[in-house]
Amino acid sequence: MIDEKLTGVFAEVVRRNPGEPEFHQAVREVLESLGPVLAKNPDLAEYKVIERLCEPERQIIFRVPWQDDSGEIHINRAFRVEFNSALGPYKGGLRFHPSVNLGTIKFLGFEQTFKNALTGMPLGGAKGGADFDPKGRSENEIMRFCQSLMTELYRHLGEYTDVPAGDIGVGTREIGYLFGQYKRITNRYESGVLTGKGVEWSGALVRTEATGYGTVYFVREMLAARGETLDGKVCVVSGAGNVAVHAVEKLVELGAKVVACSDSTGFVVDEKGIDIELLKTVKLHERGRLCDYAERRPDAVYRDRGSVWEVPCDVALPCATQNELTGRDAATLLRNGCIAVAEGANMPTTPEAARMFQEAGIAFGPGKAANAGGVATSALEMQQNASRDSWSFEYTEARLAEIMARIHETCFMTAEEYGAPGNYVVGANIASFLKVSRAMVALGLV
């Protein structure tokens, strides 16, 4: 429930941003936690901090014309929503997916502002992307699209201004083409302008793995707080992209058994435990489908109907996309004895499902805390770029693990302080809100 002092703020967000249900959902989830904060900090209401936080500082929408291999011209629409720069330069990924619209990018930018604050790094919040579908496009088409997009976007970027990274549909390959075009237009090798770069050309080790690994580290902390470990736990992960595959990898490394994962066309159940090398080959290198995985693994079963959440598990990690885990899925997971859920994706759990997990008292890690390892490692990449240094895998991963433990601790302690012990949603929302809002007050009315 939204505190009565904030119902007017939320009504205004809905009125000013019509037809953007995901943005409304993300704002509502944060506002629902903030009642007790306003009671303790009445000056924040006076400074209209919440109203300012709900309005992006800048929204950029532009046309991206490009030509396919047969010479046909296509027009896409791209966005960059620079949400909040109170704590540092705008920072957040770019998403290429046909479903992308302004509301999607706003919800992601809003979430990103709080997530980045939780990392403790000097990062503002932003998000961007385009309604471009990379599926089935050739290398040259992807390159031409990235070059056309950057031809407009470059003027809004800079290592002290706005620093994009990857997200759905944007990995190291796309970041490479985007960086190449930025360099060409500006005549500057400005490494810190993008993160998620290839390790051969000023990228950082562990950035690729960081979001998935970090999510698993967060689960490890949540379980430890309850006297449990990952050893022997049966896990289900949704998605089979960057976040999901690296979550599977780290779960297996820490002694868990992953029995299922999914992609946009179906899911695979592998009772013997997902073969991580085969999964990487099929999904990351060949850019294939999970049915190809099942064909090469005699005991695995591929299903194109039903939900991956029907597979019984102790730990569930939604790592695909927003609102993919519904109230019905939550009921199934709880019935099957699931004890922990952590959001590797952004807002993958519907409000109803999130409420059910919290009411059931299982460990539930919201995305802005659980998947913050990606952006935190981006900040480590920026540090290495600024100092012309490059750190080892082991050192960087140890930093990531430390950061995830600190984020867990912050959420845990804040939830206790505000009378909601064990509720990481409340802890993450309040801790990050206080961090951003104090900076906003200190910087004056800007």
- Catalytic machinery residues: 127
Instruction: Give the residue at shortest CB distance from ligand NDP.
Output: 241
C-beta separation of 97 from 345 below 8 A: no
- Counted residue by residue, the chain has a size of 446
Smallest separation (angstroms) from ligand NDP to the CB of 232: 26
Tokens of 350: 């519907």
Residue 121: CB atoms within 10 A of its CB come to 20
User: Rounded to whole angstroms, what are the CA distances from 261 to 1, 144, 148, 222, 338?
Assistant: 33, 32, 34, 22, 16
With respect to ligand NDP, which residue has the nearer C-beta, 186 or 281? 281
Give residues 365-424 in contact with ligand NDP (rule: CB under 6 A): 371, 374
Distance, in Å, from the CA atom of 210 to the CA atom of 198, rounded to the nearest integer, reads 14
User: Smallest Cα–Cα separation from 86: which of 445, 372, 436?
Assistant: 436
Instruction: Determine which residue in the list 27, 150, 240, 315 makes contact with ligand NDP, applying CB under 6 A.
Output: 240
Piece of the chain touching ligand NDP by CB under 6 A; list 74-82, 314-322, 329-337, 350-358: 314-322
| CB of 321 or CB of 350, closer to ligand NDP | 321
Question: Residue 330 interacts with ligand NDP (CB under 6 A)?
Answer: no
Q: Does 242 bind ligand NDP (CB under 6 A)?
A: yes
Determine which helix (DSSP H) or strand (DSSP E) holds 175, and give its type and residue range.
Answer: helix 172-186
Cβ of residue 65: shortest distance to ligand NDP, in angstroms?
24
119 sits near ligand NDP (criterion: CB under 6 A) = no
- Is 321 a binding residue for ligand NDP by CB under 6 A? The answer is yes
Among 32, 167, 249, 381, binds ligand NDP (CB under 6 A): 167
Instruction: Say which residues have a Cβ less than 8 Å from residue 124's Cβ, sequence separation at least 6.
Output: 82, 83, 84, 85, 86, 87, 88, 89, 90, 91, 113, 116
Number of residues that bind ligand NDP (CB under 6 A): 23
Closest separation in Å from C-beta 240 to ligand NDP: 4
**List 346, 349, 423, 432, residue binding ligand NDP (CB under 6 A):** 346
Site for ligand NDP in 190-219 (CB under 6 A): 211
Backbone angles phi, psi at 313, to 5 degrees: -155, 165
Angle at 215 between CA 210 and CA 218, to 5 degrees: 120
Binding residues vs ligand NDP (CB under 6 A):
166-169, 211, 239-244, 263-265, 319-321, 324, 344-346, 371, 374
